Amino acid sequence: MLKILFMFVLMVPAWIQAAEISGVFKQGGLLMGSVKPGQEVFVNGEPARVSDTGEFVFGLERYFPLEAKVEVKEGKKTVHQQTVLVEPREYQTQYIKGVKKKHVNPDPKDMEQITADSAQIKEARAQFHTYNFFRDGFKWPVKDRISGVYGSRRFYNGEERNWHKGVDVAAPTGTAVHAPAPAKVALALKNSFFNGNLIILDHGQQIFTIYAHLDSMNVKAGDDVKTGDKIGEVGTTGRSTGPHLHWGMYWRNMALDPQLFIKQDG
């Protein structure tokens, strides 16, 4: 249950089925919890998928509202309501020079590859499994200098592009990249246009982590990995100006901040 993170237990009258909520209540964080199997959960009116065992997760995107209103329903009846406060954040702006022209303004042929890459990535992140390997938090896949952070506006050769959806760790080419938590490999994609050699790990309940710009990959789709297993090596493939690991975390297709989920001993 992510013991290293903020724990919040909803206190309710005895006659109401209690719901437990935990997670990181910050923009870029994650709300998770458990209810009675068969109940439905809504966060700010949006449904959260509830597993057969009653577990659910809900991502708090980069500019999530400062209140998360949780409603638990059984049939048409609301059995619990609670508002969780979400901490706001300020994000950096980063200017990156020396990027290849094609990685700033792709031509039509490049766009074909980008579209194909995106389809494979989206398909991988559409999977749903009931295991919850993410709940005890993550270890760093690589420990070195942090060169980019989640949420920052990004300018490439002076032109603004998509905001940064993870954390960058600068490390020498060939540095081992380790699985930060147990997972199943959802995708191992070679030579993608932006991400280069890319691995996606599925930690359950549509919580995924990604590893981009790898020099080499040591796993394939369908493999099971344990915490600490080597999955690849740091490189500078794709849109990259130097060797580093781009490490991202997603709920479905929503980018979250992996640094918020690092264990104290990670």
> From the CB of residue 6, how many other CB atoms can be counted at a distance below 10 Å?
15
pLDDT at 12: 39
pLDDT at 19: 72
Q: Show pLDDT as tens, one digit a residue, over the chain (266 residues).
A: 443 443 333 343 333 445 788 999 999 999 999 999 999 999 999 999 999 999 999 999 999 999 999 999 999 999 999 999 999 999 999 999 999 999 999 999 999 999 999 999 999 999 999 999 999 999 999 999 999 999 999 999 999 999 999 999 999 999 999 999 999 999 999 999 999 999 999 999 999 999 999 999 999 999 999 999 999 999 999 999 999 999 999 999 999 999 999 998 87
Identify the helix (H) or strand (E) that includes residue 108. Answer: helix 108-124
pLDDT at 18: 58
Q: Are 182 and 263 in contact (CB under 8 A)?
A: no
Q: Which long-range contacts (CB under 8 A, 24 or more apart) does 116-120 make?
A: 117/189, 117/192, 117/193, 117/194, 117/195, 120/187, 120/189
pLDDT at 15: 33
Q: Which amino acid is at 63?
A: Y
Structure tokens at 228: 């600490």
pLDDT at 45: 96
pLDDT at 264: 81
- 5: helix, coil or strand? coil
Bridge pairing between strands 153-156 and 93-96: parallel
- Angstrom CA distances, 261 to 1, 18, 69, 129, 154, stand at 11, 25, 22, 20, 23
